[in-house]
Amino acid sequence: MELMQFLSWACIVFTVGMFSTGLKKQEGSDVSTVSVAYGSCENDMKKMRESKSTDNIQFLPFLTTCLNNLGWLYYGILKTDHTIILVNVIGALLQILYIIVYLHYTKQKKQVMSQTLVAATVLTFSWFYFTTFLPEGDTRLSQLGLTCSVVTVSMYLSPLTGLAQIVRSGDVRCLSFPLAVATFFTSTSWVLYGLQLNDYFIVVPNSPGIFTSLIRFYLFWRFGFVNQSSPAYKSMLI
């Protein structure tokens, strides 16, 4: 198997594995790659279904992640990169599923529908801009790659304040160790994949994922034994 094909499969497998980890437990942080900026909140779809409510569950991360997925999907289509296309189709479909479930259980349907309408408007105008005002070829691809990269990096860096709070409190129970591992391997795979393609629009937005994962590993190492009651981390010590 050639290196490029191996990295492609690694990106797909690790990203889908990260999706599965996130379905079981989402931490108060982000999980975003070129494949998917998997906006996480403290609770997941399972909690919504069990509690029949969306209390303490943020809607905007699902919405912004879906938009980011669609942006990278368009990038993959312009680049004719089937790896990027596949993982972002999966990511976008998952986010749409989350949005539908959220709409079903939320009591603030008018507000959620308004936010969804705004997002759809932004998406429509963005598509109109890229397809009408930018010429086909490298210019359109570069502008789209830059836009998606900026959004993805901002989503990566957004939970750093939460990590700072964990450093002050020494409580890592709100973090998911499997999700941190999945993020590390997913981000690393995409960085190596981008380097092979010489595509820094893939390399740059995924590099912070490695950095933030290493911070989480340090926090588990530093505070893990202080939080012996934490199921997510204790299971990794057995």
Collect all residues with Cβ–Cβ distance below 8 Å to 96 and sequence separation of at least 6: 66
Q: Which two tokens stand for residue 76?
A: 């993959």
Indicate the domain borders of the chain: 1-222
pTM: 0.81
| Tens digits of pLDDT across the chain (238 residues) | 689 999 999 999 998 877 665 454 444 333 344 443 343 433 456 777 778 888 777 788 888 888 999 999 999 999 999 999 999 999 889 889 888 988 888 888 899 999 999 999 999 999 999 999 999 899 999 999 999 999 888 877 776 777 777 777 777 777 778 888 888 999 999 999 999 999 999 999 999 889 888 988 988 888 874 444 444 333 333 3
pLDDT at 154: 83
Collect all residues with Cβ–Cβ distance below 8 Å to 65 and sequence separation of at least 6: 32, 36, 37, 38, 39, 91, 95, 155
Residues paired with 38 in a beta bridge: 31
